[in-house]
Chains A and B, each alone.
Chain A
Amino acid sequence: MSQTDATPRKILVLGATSGIAEATCRIWAAEGARLFLVARNAEKLAAVAADLRTRGASFVDTAIADLDDTDKHPALLSHAVNSLTGLDVAYLAHGILGDQAKAEQDFNTAAQIIYTNYMAPVSLLTWLANFCVQRHAGTLAVISSVAGDRGRKSNYLYGSSKAGLSAFLGGLRNRVDREGVTVLAIKPGPVKTSMTSGMKGSEKFADVDKVAQSIVKAIDKRQDVLYVPFQWQPIMFVIRHIPERVFKKLNL
């Protein structure tokens, strides 16, 4: 909330119609932030933009884009930072889960997952990191996943794309931290979606609004890595350290 009295933060959101991105943007909107939202679906994007305007965002602009179209990234990003009149935070929240079973049989499906979850963010972050380095300021907050911490048979395509992304973020941070640029890797565990209300056991899942609060806080604190909810940090520590000869027999 430290931002409330200062000039509104300028935030670029890629994948703005995703559940976590939307919940995060609601917090920023209530603070009066300036937002530039990018998503694929015009109708959904308009609904999200209207919501954020109503909640108090001081400025909301949008662009419809398929982020797989990496050729268009430079034009899209420079338009966004012009519209925002600067950039304090770039928030990358887009990604697909993909069809693991299909990807096991079909390379094109696998390649699609890798392209959307890894290649496209690399393209975006290359432009954004250089923009921020020039100004010696800015935060790049990127949603990766706990699934990237270790490959499992149930979703190793998704997991490996996020593993690649996490490694990329680590390297990028190592490069740009000394230039005054923050790189936050966000690794969410299972999040309760709207639809689990009323279901048995669902109260144990993380609430999307609480996840969003943690993300906002981590960005404010210029954190490097965020496991959210925090329990996932020790859980993933254990999972990463299970010996491979045991791990390969598990059903995860």
Chain B
Amino acid sequence: MSTATGTTPELNFRTPDEQFEGQAPFESWGRYPNYDANVVPLHWQSDYPAVASGMHNGVLPVGMGRSYGDVCLLKGGNLLVTTGMNRLIAFDSETGLLTAEAGITLAQILDFAVPRGFFLPVSPGTKYVTLGGAIANDIHGKNHHVAGTFGRHVTQFELVRSDGTRKLCSPTENADFYAATIGGLGLTGVILWAQLRLKPIVSRLIDYEGIQFHGIDEFLDLTRQSQEIEYTVSWIDCASTGKNFARGVFMQGDHSTKRDTLKPSPEPKLVFPFDAPGFALNHLSVSLFNTAFFHKQIHDRVVALQDYEPFFYPLDKVLHWNRMYGKRGLLQFQYVIPWEHAREGTIAILKEVAKSGLASFLAVLKVFGDVPSPGMMSFPKPGITLALDFPIKPDKSFPLFERLADMTLEFGGRLYPAKDAAMTAAQFQTFYPQWQQFARYRDPQLTSSFWERVTGDRPGL
């Protein structure tokens, strides 16, 4: 195997069977922080743990790198990229049970399932995540209030530990490892394959309705009125103050029940071509975007039939849209605040964001339902969740983030590790008091920059 030198394709004669190994930057979606690691591919279920024997400085299985912060990073360590492990194993068209290797992406699952009349039980905001990553972060979607988290639909999976032990995990078998691995940030072992319960659909289309709202109370009213609707989510304007404070668009939809063609999705053609300069996203451009988004919907209420792609994955249309935030990257912030303080907490945090003048380009507001999460460390719990992103501006973004995290804590909420790059160890340990219990299931070889940051140690090395 020749060493990988440079990545320019011109006059680069690497043959297709050569692999790109060795020291390389592996970026998370927020592009902050940014660390080099030794990147190693997993192509086959038998690759681990053999491939990692003798590796120093820790190992972390990763997928598409779509988590925003450092749960998918390991500074100076070894990243096992699982996306080559993307084979289907079995599909039962009666029950919708799909078994596949953990590196398959949700996009690949949809390409297979939609033409056969099946859909993901839970869809996050991007389809470019792996099955293993979806489990490890116990992701959620617009149907959380009825379906719960992704992990609830994972009937079983196989985990391999660094000592070579394989564990079949389900709610009844190795139930402790099942609970620890769902939302376990890839630290309990490498997930080889998983079985997922898909749900039947008869159309690609979504019966969509978009409704403007002004303020959190209108949002909560709309939420109450839409209990029966499968998918609900809101975009909220975080830049405006005064009479436009907390205005937004409440978006809801159900899978159309009218039989229609179930062809696969076309491939995305747009790629955000370069890193935008640091000044491209400022208060003015973000305010303009937010105003435009609000008024894009000219009427208070818009009813439409919409393809599932723009409904679930509006940003997937532009590959590498994170480049819009430039080389410095972006900081995500997502909290859930339980019902007791959900309303006041959300209003207080929105005010703090608006006051800061720090742009939040995309802000998403949603109510989590009371379907219990199966994971020991799962993020969702009943209440309101808000996701924001900020371009990274030194001296400004981090103090704001710290204030928001402290406010979240005061209101009894917690932050989402998959979207975090900045919470302190003390904050994490208050958000997730069960972390020490979870730590007992961590594989001694596996760790992440996130885990080291929030637990304050680099254990097992």
Contacts and interface: CB of A to CB of B under 8 A. Distances in A.
B13 A147 contact: yes
B7 A147 contact: no
A145 B18 CA distance: 12
Contacts of A211: 16
A55 B17 contact: no
B21 interface: yes
A199 B39 contact: yes
A12 interface: no
Contacts, number: 126
A145 B86 CA distance: 26
Given A152-B13, A203-B271, A211-B16, A51 B41 contact: no
B13 A146 contact: yes
B40 interface: yes
Q: Which of A50, A100, A189, A190 has the most CB of B within 10 A?
A: A190
Contacts of A189: 9, 13, 16
A70 interface: no
A64 to B, nearest CB: 15
Interface string B58-89: 00001011000000000000000101101111
B29 to A, nearest CB: 9
A155 interface: yes
B27 A198 contact: yes
Contact of A202 (B20, B87, B103): B20
B25 A200 contact: yes
Interface string A136-168: 000000000111000010110010000000000
Interface in B1-42: 1-2, 7-21, 24-27, 39-41
Nearest to A95: B17
Contacts of B89: 47, 50-51, 54
Nearest to B20: A196
A195 B40 contact: yes
B293 interface: no
Interface stretch (B43-51, B241-249, B343-351): B43-51
- Contact-size category for A: 35 or more
A122 B89 CA distance: 34
B214 interface: no
A200 B7 contact: yes
Given A195-B20, A197-B83, A201-B7, A190 B88 contact: no
Nearest to A162: B15
A191 interface: yes
Interface string B301-324: 000000000000000000010000
Nearest to B79: A198
Nearest to B116: A56
A48 interface: yes
B461 interface: no
A193 B25 contact: no
Nearest to B80: A195
Nearest to A15: B17
B83 A194 contact: yes
A195 B44 contact: no
Contacts of B11: 235, 239, 252
Contacts of A96: 17
Contact of A194 (B12, B86, B90): B86
A230 interface: no
A8 interface: no
Given A193-B84, A199-B25, A252 B91 contact: no
Interface string A47-61: 110110011000000
A248 interface: no
Q: Which of A50, A100, A194, A202 has the most CB of B within 10 A?
A: A194
A1 interface: no
B112 interface: yes
A204 interface: yes
Contacts of B17: 18-20, 95-97
B115 to A, nearest CB: 9
A195 B25 contact: no
25 contacts: A19-B17, A19-B84, A20-B16, A44-B44, A48-B87, A50-B89, A50-B90, A54-B89, A55-B88, A55-B112, A96-B17, A97-B17, A99-B1, A145-B15, A145-B16, A155-B13, A188-B15, A193-B84, A195-B81, A198-B39, A199-B26, A200-B7, A200-B24, A203-B271, A205-B9
The 7 closest A-B pairs by CB, nearest first: A194-B84, A195-B41, A201-B7, A51-B87, A191-B16, A198-B65, A54-B88
Interface of B: 1-2, 7-21, 24-27, 39-41, 43-46, 62, 64-65, 81, 83-84, 86-91, 101, 103, 112, 271, 320
